[in-house]
Structure 1
Amino acid sequence: MTQLSSPRLAAILACAAILAGCASSKGPGQTSYDFGPLGAPASSQATPAASTFPALVVADVTGPAMLDNQRMFYRLMYADAQQSRPYAYNQWSATPLQLLSQRFKARIAQGGVKVLSTTDASGGVPLLRLEADEFSQNFDGVARSSATLVLRASVFRSHQLVDQRTFTRTLPAPSADAPGGARALAGASDAVAADILAWLATLPAR
């Protein structure tokens, strides 16, 4: 066996150590966010919507393709409002459409309405369709951002449109970063859910 000289052996070991370091080094890990715990409803009493809609089919929220993946996006309104930029190391735990669907169904159920899925519903149960038009964190300045949710809700009975309304909520983010945006978007989602329950209560029972 050929013996390696000490200088050459040292150089080989140094290169191996450098390569091992490169192979094992990683960038910052991904941090995932959701809307947080559901929390108790504002009141233990059923909302007036439960009287109008004892049961309701709530379809999953639909929306643009950018909301159908787990990336978190933001816009620099002061630089280029038409460009949506992804956070590098922050993402949602599920797609925004999935998070919105889960949250709205839970909040409506908290309001005393029996929530059914599109596959479980029996004939004659009214249908609520929800379409997200905007779900974004917008920076008005380097240290100031807000979250905006724009959602269109439609109620159908026997395939006939009963009413349709667009809901918009904008809340300031507690911090100008991904955690602040996640908290503000969760708050906007809960606010829109409350708006939807209040709207349902105004619709005709039949």
Structure 2
Amino acid sequence: MFVLLSGCALPLPDKPVRPAAYDLGPPLAMPAAAPGVALGFDRVEAPTAIDTNAIVYRLLYAGGSQQPRPYAHARWSMAPAQLVGQRLRAALAASHPVLDAGNTLAVLQLSAELDEFAQVFTTPEASEGVVRLRVTAIAPQARQGRLLGQRSFVQRVAAPTPDAAGGAQALREATDTVLREVVDWVNALPAPRS
């Protein structure tokens, strides 16, 4: 009887901690511009390591440059490639009609690959958000398609705090800078010829 009653006095376990969910915030504000050529764009591709809702970090100071690690109690509201893809589509739409990939009205076809999207720690107290996005532009209406250009965009922004919230903020700022550069690059591409 004593054993049974002592079991009732044990504290109940805490409720499971629900991970904090982050996104990239409100849409990127882009200056309005005269409408450019119609773009075909589908989505941003990403390698398996970052094609997850986990907020990924790397510990360079501990030799962990090749070990992406997820935060236990923080996650993205959707995979980073989806977040970046939505943001890129909205940024491009400020100066171009953006159509689905393969639409025959598109004069320019864009594809994008998110090669890196992580918080990188150089010391236990210092980290930065690193975004690396590769964009390819082709003229689909040219015979067999014609490559107009390919470029990698990389940005590193210091995180204000050495935690998931600081990493999410740094990654948002790095993403916005990259996307502004992508839009400027696309707007400067030569007009495709048939």
TM-score, length-scaled by structure 1: 0.83
**Equivalence map 1:7-46=2 (5 Å):** 8=1, 11-16=3-8, 18=10, 21-22=12-13, 25-41=14-30, 43=31, 45-46=32-33
Structure 2: distance between partners of 1:184 and 1:57: 29
Residue 78 of structure 2 is aligned to residue 91 of structure 1? no
Structure 2: distance between partners of 1:68 and 1:138: 17
Structure 1: distance between partners of 2:71 and 2:106: 44
Quick check: 2:28–2:87 contact (8 Å CA) kept in 1? no
The one-letter code of the counterpart of 1:101 is G
User: Which 5+ residue runs of structure 2 have no aligned equivalent?
Assistant: none
Runs (4 or more) in structure 1 with deviation over 4 Å come to none
Q: Partner of 1:3 in structure 2?
A: none
**Equivalence map 1:45-194=2 (5 Å):** 45-46=32-33, 50-51=35-36, 53=37, 55-80=38-63, 81-110=65-94, 112-118=95-101, 121-158=103-140, 159-194=145-180
SS at match of 2:122: strand
Whose radius of gyration is greater, 1 or 2? 1
Structure 2: distance between partners of 1:115 and 1:83: 37
Quick check: 1:59–1:127 contact (8 Å CA) kept in 2? no
- After TM superposition, give the deviation of residue 197 of structure 1 in Å: 1.1
Between the aligned residues of both structures, percent identity stands at 36
- After TM superposition, give the deviation of residue 84 of structure 1 in Å: 1.4
SS at match of 1:131: strand
- After TM superposition, give the deviation of residue 174 of structure 1 in Å: 1.3
Quick check: 1:71–1:91 contact (8 Å CA) kept in 2? yes
Q: How many matched pairs?
A: 187
- After TM superposition, give the deviation of residue 122 of structure 1 in Å: 2.4
- After TM superposition, give the deviation of residue 11 of structure 1 in Å: 4.3
- After TM superposition, give the deviation of residue 67 of structure 1 in Å: 1.7
SS at match of 1:185: helix
Structure 2: distance between partners of 1:140 and 1:169: 16
The one-letter code of the counterpart of 1:154 is T
Q: Partner of 2:188 in structure 1?
A: 202
Quick check: 1:33–1:92 contact (8 Å CA) kept in 2? yes
Structure 2: distance between partners of 1:181 and 1:86: 12
TM-score, length-scaled by structure 2: 0.88
Quick check: 1:78–1:141 contact (8 Å CA) kept in 2? yes
Structure 2: distance between partners of 1:190 and 1:57: 21
- After TM superposition, give the deviation of residue 13 of structure 1 in Å: 3.9
- After TM superposition, give the deviation of residue 146 of structure 1 in Å: 0.4
Structure (1 or 2) with the greater helix fraction: 1
Cα RMSD for the two superposed structures: 1.9
